[in-house]
């Protein structure tokens, strides 16, 4: 069975197309991978760690720490993720404004009421991606849906 890659290679060997055109055709074939994670009845941390690993490109054969992987990750059913009542009251998100007395504490339950489960998932994935200059560009490849 002939695949597109074999046909492109055959064309380049016969010198019908140049090597630059071959690279361009291959880049069109393998533009980027798209992964969909269903968060229904799953714990937040399990979904977030799976998404973070995919965003870093750990599943690809061309993994490199210093590059942003060409993947798109979509998390669906974020509202239906499994959270215990104890975790809603026990987990506390702490932020600091930078000014004196600017330490803000918010429970997980209050954050869900105020901003929704999408913000909770976003923060979970944000904290699991490595803390370096590539973090923001990696998180641009993440979409979370209700």
Q: How confident is the model at residue 31 (pLDDT cuts 50, 70, 90)?
A: low
Superfamily designation of domain 32-144: Ribosomal protein L13 (3.90.1180.10)
CA distance linking residue 92 with residue 140, whole number of Å: 26
- Mean pLDDT, residues 50-78 taken together: 92
Decide if pLDDT at 73 tops 60. Answer: yes
φ/ψ (deg, to 5) at 46: -65, -45
- Mean pLDDT, residues 108-137 taken together: 96
Q: How confident is the model at residue 62 (pLDDT cuts 50, 70, 90)?
A: confident
- Mean pLDDT, residues 86-109 taken together: 95
Instruction: Give the H or E element holding residue 66.
Output: none
Report pLDDT for 28: 63
pTM surpassing 0.85?
no
Decide if pLDDT at 21 tops 60. Answer: yes
Domain boundaries, the chain: 1-31, 32-144
Which of 81, 83, 72 is CA-nearest to residue 36? 72
Decide if pLDDT at 109 tops 60. Answer: yes
Q: Which of 2 and 69 is assigned the larger pLDDT? A: 69
Which of 133, 124, 140 is CA-nearest to residue 50? 124
């Amino acid at each position: 069975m002939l695949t597109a890659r074999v046909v492109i290679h055959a064309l380049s060997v016969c010198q019908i197309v140049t090597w630059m055109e071959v690279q361009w055709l291959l880049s069109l074939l393998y533009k980027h991978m798209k992964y969909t994670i269903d968060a229904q009845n799953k714990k937040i941390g399990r979904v977030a760690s799976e998404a973070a690993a995919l965003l870093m490109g750990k599943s690809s054969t061309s993994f490199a720490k210093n590059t942003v992987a060409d993947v798109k990750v979509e998390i669906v059913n974020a509202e239906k993720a499994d959270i215990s009542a104890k975790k809603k009251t026990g987990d506390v998100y702490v932020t600091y404004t930078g000014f004196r007395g600017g330490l803000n504490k918010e429970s997980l339950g209050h954050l869900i009421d105020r901003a929704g489960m999408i913000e909770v998932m976003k923060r979970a994935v944000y904290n699991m991606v490595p803390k370096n200059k590539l973090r923001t560009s990696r998180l641009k490849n993440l979409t979370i849906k209700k």
